[in-house]
């Protein structure tokens, strides 16, 4: 049964699934100037803009 459900989800909207492959979750460690501890910035960005996000 699970295989049929997965197949139905995959074939339901192939254009959206193909577009979703162009997005990436990026996690960047940022050091706090006040305490020196690391915090993490998370964002979902287009795969073409990953370097821009990490450069900021």
Q: What is the structure's pLDDT at 23?
A: 93
**pLDDT band at residue 11 using 50, 70 and 90 as cut-offs:** low
- Cβ contacts of residue 32 below 8 Å, gap of 6+? 38, 39
Instruction: Sketch the domain layout of the chain as residue ranges.
Output: 2-55
**pLDDT band at residue 31 using 50, 70 and 90 as cut-offs:** very high
Residue 41 to residue 55: CA distance in whole angstroms? 13
What value does the mean pLDDT take over residues 7-26? 78
Q: What is the structure's pLDDT at 16?
A: 77
Q: 21-42: buried (b, 16+ CB within 10 Å) or exposed (e) per residue?
A: eeeeebeeeeeeeeeeeeeeee
């Amino acid at each position: 049964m699970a295989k049929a459900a997965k197949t139905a989800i995959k074939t339901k909207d192939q254009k959206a699934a193909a577009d979703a492959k162009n997005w990436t979750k990026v996690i960047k460690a940022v050091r706090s100037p006040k305490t020196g501890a690391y915090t993490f910035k998370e964002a979902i960005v287009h795969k073409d803009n990953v370097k821009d996000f990490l450069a900021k």
